[in-house]
Structure formats: C-alpha cells, structure tokens
Amino acid sequence: MLPSRLPDPVPPARHELSASYISRLATLHGLDISTLWTQTTTREPSGGMRRIIVPERLAALTGRTVHELAGALPELRDPAPPWEMFRHQPQTGCHRCDARHPGGKVTRLLPHHRYVCTRHRTWIGPPDTNRPATDLTILPAVVQAQRLHLRLVRQHGWAATYDAVLTGFLLCSHIWNQHPGLGNRGPVWHTWESRTHVLIPPPDELKEFSASRLFAAIYPETVRVAALIASPFWRDLASGTPDQKKRFYREISTRVSYPYTDNPDLGDAIAHWAHTDAWRPPTGPHHRFTPGRVTAVLPAVHQGQLNRHQRSALWFKRGRKAGKALLWHNHIKPVLVRPWTPNYERLEGAISFSQRIDPEIQATTARQRASQPKPTPRAQDQHTSPMQ
Amino acid sequence: MAMKIPTSSRTTAPAEVTDTPPDSPLTTKEGWRRFVEHEPLPPSLLTGPDLDSLSRTDRVRYQDQRRDYHADLPLVNTPTIRKVINTSRLLVQLNRHQVSARRGVIISGASGTGKTTALSQLGRAHELAVRKRHPRDRHRLPVLYATVPPAATPKMLATEFARFFGLDLPGRANITDVVNAVCATAAHVGVDLVLIDEIHNLNIQTRTGAEASDQLKYFAERLPATFVYAGIDVQAQGLFAGTRGRQIAGRFHVIPAAPFSHATEQDRASWAALVGTLESTLRLHDHQPGTLAAMSEYLYHRTGGMIGSLSQLVRGGAVLAIEDGSERLSQDLLEAVPIDYAAEQAEEATAPARTRQRRRQAA
C-alpha cells in the first residue's frame, strides 16, 4: 500500500541523497526515520540487506511526481546515471544553499566538477570532515576558476576534465612541495601562501585547518594547467618530440609561473607526466558510488578520520607545508596511483615515482609506447554522456 | 440555436482537489482541503425558448446540475455561526502570543442545532483568511479538524490528530511517539486553530475519559493554537464538574447553539429573514419569490426551529420540484419531504391543529 501524503513535503535539494531527503522529511514531521525509510524502500533484488528506494512510494509520500523527484535525486533516475561522473563519497554542499532546505543536514552526491558554489561564492569540495563551506568573497579568482572548469567540461567531456583537473592538482602540489633551498620558488608560491593565509589564518591552524581549503588555494592555477592537460593539441605536444615538449613546458611555465629547468636530478612531475602519462588515455576514478543503503541514518565522521585530520593539522601548524598535505590527500590518488604505476607498498613510493624522469623510466616508457599498436593520446567518446 | 450547457456548475476548485477520492472524510487534510475549496455556484436559469431548444441529453444534464446544486445549497449565515466565527477569530488573535493557558470556545447545544456546521464554517472562514494572508504558502494547514471517537482513550485521540495529517505511524508507536509527531507537524505547518467535534463522547466520570480529557489539555499546552470544541449539551455531561471541569470552565467560553425561537415578534422576524435568505438561493423556473417566506410559520412548526431540519426540508422540496416538473415549492410538496424524528416530535408538540380543518374543508 502506498503511504499517505505528508502535510509539508518540502522539496528535495539538487543532487541530494534519497536517505538524506527521507531523513529530513521524518525530522520535520516528528516521525521515526527508520520507519519512514522502510515504508519508502524495498530490499535489493539480490536479497541483500541493502534497500533500494521505490520512486512511486516516495512520490505518494511527497505528492510530487517521480519525474520531479528524479530531477533532484540521482538515485531515482531511470536509467541510472553513469555513476563514474559523481564522487563516490556523499558530502555536504554550500551551507547557504542548504539554508533553504529545512529538516537537518543536506547530504549530496556531487559531480566531480563541482568545487565552488558560484551563486554564493563558497568553496564546497573535495569532501572534508564536517566543515561548512568556506566563504570566497575575497578570493574571486577561485570562483572564476570554477567557471573555467565548467567550460572545460563542456569542451572536453567529464572524463578528460576529471583527469586533467586532478593531474593539475597533482602538478601544483608538487610545485608547492618544492624544497625552499632549490631556489626556484617564484611568485606563484607567494600567491598560494597568501590565499592560504586568508583561508587558514596562522594562529588558528589547529582549529581552521582543512585540506579542502588548501585545494582552494591552488584551484585557479590548477584549472589553468588542466586546460592544457585536457586539450588533445597540448597532449600531443607534451608527448611529442623534444622541441614540441619544450613548447609545452614553456606554455605551462607561463600558466603557473613555474620556472621549469630541465634538470633530471631535481625531479620534475610535469616532465614525468609528459613522458609517462600524456600519450595514454585519461584515468578514471578509483571508486564509484553504489545506490542503496541499509539504513537512512547517514553515518557520522569516523573517529579515525578525525584523528588523521587532527594529525594533519598539527603537521601543518609546525611548518605550514601545504604541498605535502595535498600530495597525501586521497582526492588526487586516482592520478597519483594510475593503472600503470608500479605497485608501491606505501604512498610515498607513488609520490616519489610521480616526479621521477630518470633514464630508466624513460626507457621503460619508450618500450611500453612502442608495444602499443596505435598511440591514442586523445580520449575518444568523451561526450557520450550529458553533464549533470 | 441550441443553448450551451456549462459542463460543471459546482465548483472552482483546482483539479488536484477534484481528484481527491470522494470517501476522504473531513477529518483528513485532503477531505478538509476539499471542503474549504468547495464553493457551490448557482447554475444560470434558462428561459422558456432556450429550455425548449435543448436536446434530450442536454436537458438531462441541465436538470442534473440543478438537482446537484439544490442538494448542496449554500449555507445561510445564522446568528450562531456569526457568533462562533467572531468570538473564535478574536480568541485566535488574543492567543497568538500566549505561551500557556490559551482561551478556547465550546459550542454546546441539542442535536440538529447546527453545531458541526458552525464549527466547520469557523474553520473554513479562518483557513480562507489565513490563505489570503499567505497566498504563496501552499503547504500551510492553519486548521486541524478531528472528532472524538467513541470510548476514546488518550492514544486513540492522539491517533485521530495524526490521521488528519496523514502521518502513517506503525502500530508499535507509543503515545509519546504519536504526540511528538503530531506536535512537530502541527508546529511546522502552522496550525493555529484546532476544532474538536463530538466532545460529548468524552465522559470524564470514567478513567479513560478523564485521561483522554487530560490528553486534550496536554495538546492545548503543546500546540500554539486555539481550541474550539463542539458537543451535545456539554454542561449536562459533567464536563465542567470536578477539578478538571473547573479548569476547563475557567478557560473556555460557551456559546449555546439553540433552535430558533418563535415567541416574540423579533424572533419571528429573524426566522422569516432566514427563510427568505434560503429562498433567494433557489433556482426553480416557476417559483414565485415570497412563497416560502409566506410559509414561515408552517416551516417553523414543521422543523421546530432547527436549522438542520429546515435546510433538509427546503433542499428536499427543491429536488422534488425539479423531479416532478412543478418547478416551485408548495406546502403539499414540502409535506412529502421526510425529516428527522426530533423535528416531527416538535411539530406534534407545537404545531396548531390546522391539518384536520383543511382536510375537512377539502372534503
């Protein structure tokens, strides 16, 4: 039997998880969350303990059509959207957008290209430990970068843009992580450090630290670099002859003010990417979201994650080494540990590998490239699915 | 040229409301919304030539529309209804900022005196006024209407409130769960007037009745709303007796719903005015205005001054007049309309013995 319609079926938020929406409806009407969850879901066809939402029941409960609900709740779409386009981890969005949605915390499943709420100028992602979105009013460059990011998605498709932006984060993190003694720190370090000074003011690092905010500090330059990495033309140059490579290095130096020096002993992530990855197809995410949950109560942040966050804050307070915090963050792991990366026991190995360009790696890469029947530097069929 | 018959003469309600299943009672939010949005519109009377030019199908539809309209005649605004609405709307305003000890109204009287009608009309007037004030808030439910079930326990009472909202609570939910759900929902949707009908079903001389009465009081404390009760002879039922009763008596204003009187000249004039207003709503082809007003005294004796009986008599007469084609109300036609036993008793007690005289004359 279909449930009765609730007196005030507040609308769902965009990209909201069904469990979050049902939880808000239950809170508003003083109902038991588990009971409402059971009424609107059914056990998955395989007979497991996970429960799948029944769109007709939710429609009867809210008085909204299945079509309307599916517009906001990705889990209700039929056919299901390509889940690779979304982050596998649900998160909170812009707190000012959420203020319009009563009934408790709004948990959303955001697509990979959503980092900034351009309407309210707030930094949203990547997912952080229960920290509300950060105001970007005095950092307009970050907001503008989100617009450029969306333009990249329209031009090159979500898959190429996803790989390009994460690779951009990786390269910028390596640049930021350069040792001060190397003497090649340019104006871009000052830009990033001044942004970090605004986002995480010095005396309050323990309270204000957030790896997500560090990503915000390098986001504008990341997107500028990502425009090169996503472009088939620049990928061809990066993986081409030495002269073509030089042209690519010159361009990327212009975009991030990176004083590129062709010294293999120092190690260089950009050169590594040009030699090892540029001629291969873009890398996809490691994990994907799976619809269906056992309960509607969304779990709180795990204590282990909170402990890790606290340790990171402590390390950051000691030396304000932001580049290191970024390189160790899971968000860029898909481009740090690619399918063809050697299988290292610890992440340090993968980080070290991602900036090596010694002759051994160059020889290995040349062998692999020669064994490929036909090099395909540009990703095919990236526009097959519409963007969300 | 054939006249065009309007497809529906009844209502201006949106499709959402007309789609509501007809069995949704007034004690659910769907049924209540349907009641509030329903407004009978009088069908236009066709002239003789237009009526003759109708096809058989159109004529049947035209007659159906008028029968429907007369079966659901617009309500006459009686003095009791006016007093209930004015008093309760004032109390709603006075209670708006009260954190406790809010004042309420009890409508008390014999059956057939229009208590439920007054209660529902109060709710309708209040809801329409609130909607006018908040035209864009579609999910606001300012009025909660519930009836006290027979042999009510506190949980049954709370479940009635939850049923109005359509809250589907599991059977294992205890009374605290139900009350919390009701209060959270009522606060969220902006309930500020709670109407409780059939309050005489509460017998506070019994333990469950006393507990149910306490539950009502608890709701009155939890909900920021004005409570209006209606029931048969509430004073005689002992609602104001004892400690609980004294507390109720200290917070509630009683409005008696009595049958119309025919004792003084003023009473007779107000009854005649009521009949005249009712007559003005009729849509019959051959009915002469003033016929019903001339039968004012007969109608009083037939109905005992009960507004419910009068409404049934006139509506029934109008439907019969359309069916037999006479298209006008007469005393003979009204005699054929069955009315309730109480009114028949009143007729026997009060009506002058004119019937036999007239029969003798006729013979």
What is the structure's pLDDT at B17?
44
CB contact under 8 A, B167 and A29: yes
Q: pLDDT by residue (tens digit) across A129-187?
A: 767 788 999 999 999 999 999 999 999 999 999 999 999 999 999 888 876 555 555 67
What is the structure's pLDDT at A148?
96
Distance between CA atoms of residues B146 and B337, nearest Å: 32
Give this prediction's pTM: 0.81
Strand partners, A16: A108
What is the structure's pLDDT at A195?
92
User: Taking CB atoms and an 8 Å cutoff, what residues of chain B touch A32?
Assistant: 170, 173, 177
What is the structure's pLDDT at B125?
92
Mutation site for B-interface testing, chosen from A4, A38, A57, A58 by largest number of B Cβ within 10 Å: A4
Confidence of residue B184 (pLDDT cuts 50, 70, 90): very high
Lowest mean pLDDT of A101-105, B174-178, B207-211, name the range.
B207-211
- A6 touching chain B per CB within 8 A: yes
Nearest residue of chain A to residue B171 (CA atoms): A35
User: Taking CB atoms and an 8 Å cutoff, what residues of chain B touch A65?
Assistant: none
Nearest residue of chain A to residue B33 (CA atoms): A7
CB contact under 8 A, B165 and A5: no
- Rounded to a whole number of angstroms, the distance from the CA of B139 to the nearest CA of chain A is 5
Q: Which of A232-236, B24-28, B134-138, B304-308 has the highest mean pLDDT?
A: A232-236
Neighbours of A126 (CB within 10 A): 22
What is the structure's pLDDT at A387?
43
Are A350 and A166 in contact by the 8 Å Cβ rule? The answer is no
- B290 touching chain A per CB within 8 A: no
- A7 touching chain B per CB within 8 A: yes
- Rounded to a whole number of angstroms, the distance from the CA of B301 to the nearest CA of chain A is 46
Q: Which of B165, B168, B173 sits opposite A7 (nearest CB)?
A: B165
Distance between CA atoms of residues B68 and B75, nearest Å: 15
* Number of helical (H) and strand (E) elements in chain A, helices listed first: 18, 7
Q: The tokens of A199 are what?
A: 């986002």
User: What is the Cα gyration radius of chain B?
Assistant: 23
- What are the residues whose beta carbons fall under 8 Å from the beta carbon of B191, sequence distance 6 or more? B141, B142, B143, B144, B223, B225
What is the structure's pLDDT at B22?
59
SS3 content of chain A, % helix, strand, coil (to 5): 55, 5, 40
Q: Which of B169, B177, B185 sits opposite A7 (nearest CB)?
A: B185
What is the structure's pLDDT at B82?
87
What is the structure's pLDDT at A181?
52
* pLDDT average, residue stretch B205-217: 86
CB contact under 8 A, B185 and A32: no
- A32 touching chain B per CB within 8 A: yes
Nearest residue of chain B to residue A103 (CA atoms): B188
- A35 touching chain B per CB within 8 A: yes
What is the structure's pLDDT at B72?
80
Residue B352 class from Cβ within 10 Å (0-12 exposed, 13-18 middle, 19+ buried)?
A: exposed
Range 152-191 of B in CB contact (< 8 A) with A: 165-170, 173, 177, 180-185, 188-189
Q: The tokens of B175 are what?
A: 């009374």
Are A243 and A328 in contact by the 8 Å Cβ rule? The answer is no
Query: What does the pLDDT profile of chain A (388 residues) look like in tens digits?
Result: 788 899 999 999 999 999 999 999 999 999 999 999 999 999 988 888 899 999 999 999 999 999 999 999 999 998 999 999 999 989 888 999 999 999 999 999 999 999 999 999 999 978 887 677 889 999 999 999 999 999 999 999 999 999 999 999 999 998 888 765 555 556 788 889 899 999 998 888 888 888 899 999 999 999 999 999 999 999 999 988 888 988 988 888 888 866 666 554 556 888 889 989 999 999 999 999 988 888 888 888 889 888 988 888 888 888 888 888 899 998 999 999 999 898 898 998 999 898 888 888 888 888 888 887 765 555 544 554 444 4
Distance between CA atoms of residues B167 and A31, nearest Å: 8
User: Taking CB atoms and an 8 Å cutoff, what residues of chain A touch B169?
Assistant: 31, 35
- A9 touching chain B per CB within 8 A: yes
| Percent of chain B scoring above 90 in pLDDT | 22
- B356 touching chain A per CB within 8 A: no
Query: How many beta-carbon pairs below 8 A join chains A and B?
Result: 50
**Angle (CA) A166 A199 A164, round 5°:** 10
User: Taking CB atoms and an 8 Å cutoff, what residues of chain B touch A5?
Assistant: 30, 166
What is the structure's pLDDT at B10?
42
The three-state DSSP-derived secondary structure of B295-348 is CHHHHHHHHCCCHHHHHHHHHHHHHHHHHHCCCCCCHHHHHCCCCCHHHHHHHH
Q: pLDDT by residue (tens digit) across B289-333?
A: 888 888 888 888 888 888 888 888 888 888 888 888 888 888 888
* pLDDT average, residue stretch B188-211: 88
Does residue B19 surpass a pLDDT of 60?
no
Confidence of residue B273 (pLDDT cuts 50, 70, 90): confident
Reported ipTM exceeds the 0.85 cut: no
Letter string b/e over residues A301-330, b meaning 16 or more CB atoms within 10 A of that residue's CB: eeeeeeeebeebbebbeeeeebbbbbbbbe
Mutation site for B-interface testing, chosen from A1, A8, A37 by largest number of B Cβ within 10 Å: A8
User: Taking CB atoms and an 8 Å cutoff, what residues of chain A touch B165?
Assistant: 6-7, 29
- A65 touching chain B per CB within 8 A: no
Distance between CA atoms of residues A40 and A67, nearest Å: 16
User: Taking CB atoms and an 8 Å cutoff, what residues of chain A touch B166?
Assistant: 4-7
**Average pLDDT value for chain B:** 82
What is the structure's pLDDT at B277?
86
Mutation site for A-interface testing, chosen from B188, B191, B219, B222 by largest number of A Cβ within 10 Å: B188
